[in-house]
Amino acid sequence: MVSKFITMSANENSASNKNSLLRSYISGSRRISNIFWAIVVSLGGLGFFLTGLSSYFKKNLLLLSNASTISFIPQGIALLFYGTVGVFIGLFLFLTIWWDIGFGYNDYDQKFKKIILYRRSFPGPNQNLKLTFNFAETKSIKVRIIEGLNPKRQLFLCLQDNREIPLNTIDHPAALDKIEKEAVALAKFLGVNLETE
């Protein structure tokens, strides 16, 4: 999803600081689609797990069907295994939603000539990733567009040392005109060239 630019000012009363900070937000894992799939995977895994346990204990643990007649070897073991995997994947999905993995923002500050890229990751020593670059390190803004069954439309911050830092996510491709407008506005704000690929 392409983020929207929000123009900010350090001091609203000062005309010189007006429009000196540009911020774009990056959506994280807290999306309806992720919540839907976490629920589906968890319920499916729990169903398989309870079916496997029902076949082992020869006692029905499910409300909607009678799984106690299934033989434990080999069907019950397979269902228990797949159920355990499904429950753990569902738990993982819920944790990524809870921690909002991938959330972040990009700050472009004309006053201090700094670019700050912030992203949230998994808990640990590097949970919050914060990269800072000077305007002088910036070579260009690159737009990469790949069409097809799995389209990708991504913005990159190209540095003088040929590194390319992604500025948006690729899991929800934005409309072509929106990403082009964002790229043009960003290149103009930073005073750099715009490249396409």
* Average pLDDT value for residue range 43-61: 91
Cis upstream peptide for 74 (omega within 30°): yes
pTM: 0.75
151 and 88 belong to one structural domain: no
| Full domain range(s) for residue 93 | 33-99
CATH number at residue 24: 2.30.29
The pLDDT of residue 92 is above 80: yes
**Which of the residue ranges 7-21, 59-73, 95-109, 135-149 has the most confident prediction, judged by mean pLDDT?**
95-109
86 and 117 belong to one structural domain: no
Point out the least confidently predicted range of 51-55, 68-72, 192-196. 68-72
183 and 169 belong to one structural domain: yes
- 3-state DSSP: the chain helix, strand, coil percent, rounded to 5? 35, 25, 35
The pLDDT of residue 174 is above 50: yes
85 and 140 belong to one structural domain: no
pLDDT digits (tens, 9 = 90+) for 2-30: 444 554 433 333 334 456 888 988 888 99
69 and 166 belong to one structural domain: no
* Average pLDDT value for residue range 108-126: 91
Which whole-number Å values give the CA distances from 181 to 5, 53, 66, in the listed order? Answer: 11, 56, 58
**Helix boundaries (H) for 64-175:** 77-99
* Average pLDDT value for residue range 158-185: 84
**Which of 99, 124, 143 is a domain's end point?**
99
**Which of 54, 73, 99 is a domain's end point?**
99
Q: Quickly count: other Cβ atoms within 10 Å of residue 189's Cβ.
A: 15
The DSSP call for residue 81 is H
Tokens of 137: 């390190």
Q: Give the count of domains, the chain.
A: 2
The pLDDT of residue 94 is above 80: yes
Asked if residue 105 belongs to a domain, the reply is no
Calculate the average pLDDT of the chain.
Answer: 85
86 and 51 belong to one structural domain: yes
Model confidence band, residue 79 (pLDDT cutoffs 50, 70, 90): very high
* Average pLDDT value for residue range 46-59: 91
Percent of the residues in the chain that have a pLDDT greater than 70, as a whole number? 88
